[in-house]
Amino acid sequence: MPTDYLWQHSDPRGMSAAIEAGIARGVARSWPSGASVEHDAMKADVRALLVASFYMVDAFSTLPAQPGDADGTGNLIIGDRTRAQFRSDERLDVVRTLLETWRTLVVADRKSNAPVTPSDVAGAGEFSTVGGGAAVPLHPIGEAGFGWPVAAVAIVGVTVQAGVVCYIADKVASVIDNQLTRREATRQMVATHSVVLQVLSGHRAAEETAGTELPLTDAEKAALKAVQNAQVQAQKSIKLEVPSLFPNLKDKGGKIIEAASNLGWGALAIAGLLAYVFLQKGK
């Protein structure tokens, strides 16, 4: 089936190390301005945060993960989700919060609420990246002459949310230069987002040990609330109307995202390798 978007990404550091570095930078709010040798590192770290966020989207929902490919490549498939695909509003709230950070950054960078289209990103929506390098024309997994330098992920989707993912992955330099280096509110939003990724990683590790889903602790709820508050402040700073992605959190039927918002949102199925390196490292 044809797709509107396909982003393939790998990182020479390895995905686990890249995610850890991205989280550390986000928490430290380290987004220096001006041209420097660090710029590619910042771009790689934002992409790693994006991958980690969408892994958590999958981890807090109920769709099963896809099996990993023989070469360790993970496939993250983005599609619309319904309320029925979450066992609780609490887990849905985790997902909507993670997605809102990235949507806010896209709206801020584009200065528009219009949905992202394939023509807005590299290769008309089909491209690959390594670390903080520039987007390059797509080389499908398995194509002769193409090989991943390290474990990698591929994000495929036909929804508008896939456009949000691919926009950040492609336009990451612009997002850093125009938002994270210049706007305190977006730095704070990404900082709290990075903290909550750490918190949620610990929660998922506890669920792996318990063999079942667990309710959020008071401390975990507080971390999530901090992200939501930071998102509100970032949206005020943008001075653009940012309509809610989630007009009715407790809606029990149909798609969660109403057509009026004109924004879909993602659900990821991610291969076992990424789950291993992100959650099981150090065990």
The three-state DSSP-derived secondary structure of 24-71 is HHHHHCCCCCCCCCCHHHHHHHHHHHHHHHHHHHHHCCCCCCCCCCCC
Q: Which DSSP symbol is given to 151?
A: -
What mean pLDDT value characterizes the chain?
A: 77
pLDDT tens digits along 128-150: 999 999 998 775 544 433 333 44
What pLDDT, on a 0 to 100 scale, did the predictor assign at position 139? 59
**pTM for this model (two decimals):** 0.81
pLDDT at 225 over 90: yes
pLDDT tens digits along 41-58: 999 999 999 999 988 887
Compute the Cα dihedral for 46, 204, 277, 141 and give only its sign: negative
pLDDT at 216 over 80: yes
> If you write DSSP's letter for every residue of 204-267 in order, what string do you get?
HHHHHHHTS--PPPHHHHHHHHHHHHHHHHHHHHHTS----S-S-TT--SSBSS-GGG------
